Structure 1
Amino acid sequence: MENAICVTRTDYQRILNVIGTTSGKPAGGIAGVLIRELERARMVAPAHVPGNVVTMNSRVLVREVISGRVTEITVTYPDEAAGVNGKVSVLSPIGIALFGGREGDIARWRTPSGIGEFRIEKVVYQPEASGHYHL
C-alpha cells in the first residue's frame, strides 16, 4: 500500500508500548518498519475510524493475488499471535502489511522468495465498528 495508513490513536499508543519505543531510542528490524508506517499514518479517534480499515484485533478476508485463495486473518498483538487460527502479529511482515489498510488495498511484504501480496477483500470484524474500544 502506497498511501498513508489509517490508525486509531489507541492502537498507535498500544503498539508503541508493545515495541518499547517510549524510551526515545530508534527501533531497528521489523519494529523499525512498523514505526516508519506509524510515522506516516493518519491518526483518528477510535470512534471515527472507518469500518473498512484494518485495526488491531480486526478479522479480515484476504485473497492471495497469485493463487486467488481466500483466507481469514486476525491482526493481533505479538503475545496473542499463535501462528494458528489465522492470527498474525502486527510485528510480522504480513501483519505490518495489513494493519491500517482498507478493503480493496493490496498489502505487500517481503518473503524469502520475493514479494507476497494479499488483496484486502473484507473487514469481517473491526472492534471499533462494534463499539469494542477495549480490545
Structure 2
Amino acid sequence: MNHSSLNEAADAAHFINSLDRQRLVPLIERACGRGDDAVPRAREVLRRVCQAVVLPPQAVPADLVTMNSTVSLHAVDGSRTCELTLVYPEDSDPDELCCSIFSSVGAAVFGRRVGEEVHIDEAGFAGTRWVIAAIPFQPEAHGWHTM
C-alpha cells in the first residue's frame, strides 16, 4: 500500500472516543433488552461503535461528532440550518435541541465528521439532504476529556 493509499484509508476510517464507547455499550444493551422504540437506532449506533477505531479522548479529531458535541447542520440545497447538541438519552430535551443518541438525528450524526452528508428520517428533517457543516463545540477539543 503506497503513502496516498494509507492516507485515504485513514480519512475513510470512523473513530470513537474510548470514553464514549465505554458509556454507550451498556446503554445500547439496555435499550435492546427493553425492546423499546430506540432499538433500531441503538443497533445503528452499535454497528458504528463496533466498526470504529477507538481513540483516547486526547487524540480525537476536532471535526468528529462525539457525545455532548454541538453540531451545525446545513441543508445541502442551502435552504435550512439547524444546530443541536448530541446527548445521552437521559439528557434529551427537544425544546433545548439536545438530541438523544438514540433519536434519528443523534444516530445519524454520531461518529461522523464535518463535511459528511447524513440521512435523517425524523419529522422536521426528513426529505432534506443534510451535511455536517461545523462542530461549534466538542468537549475533547476544549480539553474536557471526561465529559
Task: Please give the per-residue CA displacement for 1:10-56, whole angstroms capped at 9, x wherever unaligned.
Answer: 101101122236xxx8x852211211111111221110001111100
- Work out the CA distance in 2 between the residues paired with 1:5 and 1:108: 17
Aligned partner of 1:124 in structure 2 is 136
Partner of 1:51: helix, strand, or coil? coil
Matched to 1:41, the amino acid is: A
Matched to 1:133, the amino acid is: H
- Work out the CA distance in 1 between the residues paired with 2:55 and 2:129: 26
Aligned partner of 1:5 in structure 2 is 14
- Deviation at residue 117 of structure 1 after TM alignment: 3.1
Tell me, which stretches of 5 or more residues in structure 2 are unaligned? 1-11
2:86 to 66, 75, 81: 75
TM-score (norm 2): 0.77
- Deviation at residue 66 of structure 1 after TM alignment: 4.5
- Work out the CA distance in 1 between the residues paired with 2:119 and 2:102: 14
Aligned partner of 2:28 in structure 1 is 19
8 Å Cα contact 1:75-1:88 kept in structure 2: yes
Query: Considering only aligned residues, what root-mean-square deviation do their CA atoms show, in Å?
Result: 2.4
Instruction: Give the aligned length.
Output: 130
Partner of 1:96: helix, strand, or coil? helix
TM-score (norm 1): 0.83
Partner of 1:73: helix, strand, or coil? strand
Q: Which structure dedicates a bigger proportion of its chain to helix?
A: 2
Matched to 1:17, the amino acid is: P
Matched to 1:132, the amino acid is: W
1:56 to 67, 72, 78: 67
Aligned partner of 2:99 in structure 1 is 88
Tell me, which stretches of 5 or more residues in structure 1 are unaligned? none
Question: Segments of 4+ in structure 1 off by > 6 A?
Answer: none
8 Å Cα contact 2:48-2:111 kept in structure 1: no
Aligned partner of 1:44 in structure 2 is 55
8 Å Cα contact 2:117-2:130 kept in structure 1: yes
Report the identity percentage.
29
- Work out the CA distance in 2 between the residues paired with 1:75 and 1:117: 19
Rg larger in structure: 2
Task: Please give the per-residue CA displacement for 1:65-93, whole angstroms capped at 9, x wherever unaligned.
Answer: 35631111100000101112111011111
- Work out the CA distance in 1 between the residues paired with 2:108 and 2:13: 12
- Work out the CA distance in 1 between the residues paired with 2:51 and 2:127: 22
